[in-house]
Structure formats: structure tokens, C-alpha cells
Amino acid sequence: MSPLPMHIYDNTVENAGIAQRYNHYIKTLMRDEEWLIFCHQDFAILEEPDVILQTLDDTCIYGPIGAARDKGIYFRNSRILFERKRLYGQINQASNDEKYYRNGIFLRKPKLVDTIDCCCMIVHASLIKKNNLLFDENFRFHLYVEDFALSARYRYGIRTKAIQIQCKHLSIGHLNQDFSVSLAYLKSKYTEIKFVGTCFS
């Protein structure tokens, strides 16, 4: 199969926020009938993307790893919990070096999740166009995909699913002050609901 077309933004030339970059693509370059894979420079799919895309329902948002709340009775540190966070979709993850480990639960079929990780999001252009979906540019470098998924779900009923993809992610990033500010903003947007992410509970 022919390789998927790619568009690369180089932030060494202009250090714009990632949400801003993705919105630029949606507004100026997106074609109506295409699958979009928004991913970081340190993320790689290790199998043929076209084969994966042919299996997907274009009315959902997808990612290779996501977070969900499992309900049940769990014990932690002598406390009883009635739900816990779990990561679905197994990826090869590196801890800011070349030493990879398996992160997440291997999936036999797509799994409904609260959010997916920013490292990679897959969505069809028709879904974006139909619902006028855009990224919130207040999220410059963190949590813009999590917000995209939550906004799509609670405004339009669009589901987000983790799917099993053979892939690798080179780094875990840095949970710095910008991340903390972004997380506080994310939680302030959705005060009426409970949700988790791959990097937060």
C-alpha cells in the first residue's frame, strides 16, 4: 500500500502550541474523506496504518492507549475503593531513554475509555467536519487530546476508544508546572463529571 501523506510542523522554527498546530491543519489542510493521525515526533506505529484504519468506525475517536475507571471493590493501603484507573491498549513505552517497557493492558477489541493519551489520536475528517471539532488552544503542550475527547463526548455523544496498535513511544514527557496548570484548567471545564487520563487520576 502507498504510504499515508504526512504533514510535519517544526517547532524549532516557530514554537507554537500543539493545539494551535493541529487546528491549523484542520482549518487549512484537512480533506473531507481522510483519516487523521495526530501524533508526537517521538511516537511510531510499527505496523501498516492503512490496515488498522480499515477496521475502524469513523464515528469514534481512537488512540493506542487510554484511561478508564473500572468499577468494583478494590483494596489499597487498607482502604476500600469502588473504582480504579486502568490503562487500556498496550504500547512499548520508554522512560525518556531507549529502555522500553510494556505499558497498558493488551486489547483484543476496541475498549471505551474516558480519554486517550496525547502521544497519538486517530479521528476521521468527516467526524471533525460534521461536529465542527477543534482543539482548545489554551492547552499548549499538555492535555489537548484529553480535552478534545471529553468535549466531543459531552457536547456530541462521540465515544473515545483505545485500540491495540503495535507502536512505541520514546518518552514519558515531563509533568512540569505547565502540566499542572493545564490539568487544573481541564478539571475546571468538566466539574460535573468524573474522568481519568493516562497521566492523572
Answer whether residue 67 is part of any domain.
Answer: yes
- The residue-averaged pLDDT of 95-113 equals 89
Answer whether residue 34 is part of any domain.
Answer: yes
Answer whether residue 110 is part of any domain.
Answer: yes
Range of the domain at 65: 18-189
Answer whether residue 127 is part of any domain.
Answer: yes
| DSSP string for 84-133 | EEEEES-EEEESSSS-EEEESB--SS-EE-SEE-TTEEEEEHHHHHHHT-
Answer whether residue 41 is part of any domain.
Answer: yes
Supply the angle between the helices 18-28 and 144-156 in degrees, to the nearest 10.
50
Largest CA distance in the chain: 55
Counting the structural domains of the chain, the total is 1
Answer whether residue 139 is part of any domain.
Answer: yes
What pTM value is reported for the model?
0.91
- The residue-averaged pLDDT of 97-104 equals 85
CATH code of 53's domain = 3.90.550.10
Tell me: the pLDDT tens digits for 12-58?
Answer: 888 899 999 999 999 999 998 899 999 999 999 999 999 999 999 99
pLDDT exceeds cutoff 60 at 2: no
pLDDT exceeds cutoff 80 at 107: yes
pLDDT exceeds cutoff 80 at 197: yes
Answer whether residue 194 is part of any domain.
Answer: no
Tell me: the pLDDT tens digits for 139-171?
Answer: 999 999 999 999 999 999 999 999 999 999 988
Answer whether residue 79 is part of any domain.
Answer: yes
Q: Which triple of cell numbers denotes residue 112?
A: 471505551
